[in-house]
């Protein structure tokens, strides 16, 4: 199971826990994890990435295992500990504003 940590506004929107566990078919990448997230929680479509281009929304960041994966290619493999379910893939609302 792949663990994904969601920011509080998206937890409220999805009526989910902070960390959700998803069945994701390999390869485990940013794209396949977000596809699985949106399939399980359709209300999250468009909230982390554009529905047409699939590009990350500007104020959303992705982290895992201490790495900033925000600008990683969507089809790059995620870190091994995320694949093993030991660490969560973090969806984070960027700090912006004063």
Partner 1 sequence: MLVGTRKGAFILNSDEKRKSWKIDGPHFGGWEIYHLTGSPAEPNRLFASQVSDWFGQVMQRSDDAGKTWETVGNDFNYEGEVGTHQWYDGSQRPWGFKRVWHLEPSLDDPDTAYAGVEDAALFRTGDGGKTWQELPGLRQHGSGPDWMPGAGGMCLHTILLDPKNRGRITIAISAAGVFRSEDHGKTWQPSNKGLVSEMMPNPTGEVGHCVHRIAAHPSRPDTLFMQKHWDVMRSDDAGANWHEVSGNLPSDFGFPIVVHAHEPETIYVVPIKSDSEHYPPDGKLRVYRSRSGGNEWEALTQGLPQEHCYVNILRDAMCVDANDPCGIYFGTTGGQVYASADDGDSWRPIAEHLPAVLSVEVQTL
Using the minimum distance from each CB to partner 1, give the nearer residue, 47 or 83.
Answer: 47
Using CB under 8 A, pick the residue from 54, 57, 84, 86 that binds partner 1.
Answer: 57
CA distance 33 to 85: 12
How far, in Å, are 26, 36, 45, 53, 66 from residue 81 at the CA level?
Answer: 14, 18, 26, 28, 11
Q: Does 24 bind partner 1 (CB under 8 A)?
A: no
Residues that bind partner 1 (CB under 8 A): 7, 9-10, 12-13, 42-43, 45-48, 50-52, 57, 59-60, 93-94, 96
């Amino acid at each position: 199971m792949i663990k994904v940590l969601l920011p509080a506004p998206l937890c409220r929107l999805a009526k989910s826990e902070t960390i959700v566990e998803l069945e994701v078919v390999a390869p485990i990448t940013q794209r396949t994890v977000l596809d699985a997230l949106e399939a399980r929680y359709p209300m999250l479509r468009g909230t982390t990435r554009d529905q047409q281009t699939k590009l990350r929304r500007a104020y959303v960041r992705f982290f895992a295992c201490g790495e900033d994966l925000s600008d990683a290619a969507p089809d790059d493999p995620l870190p091994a500990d995320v694949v093993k379910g030991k660490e969560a893939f973090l969806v984070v609302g960027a700090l912006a504003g004063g």
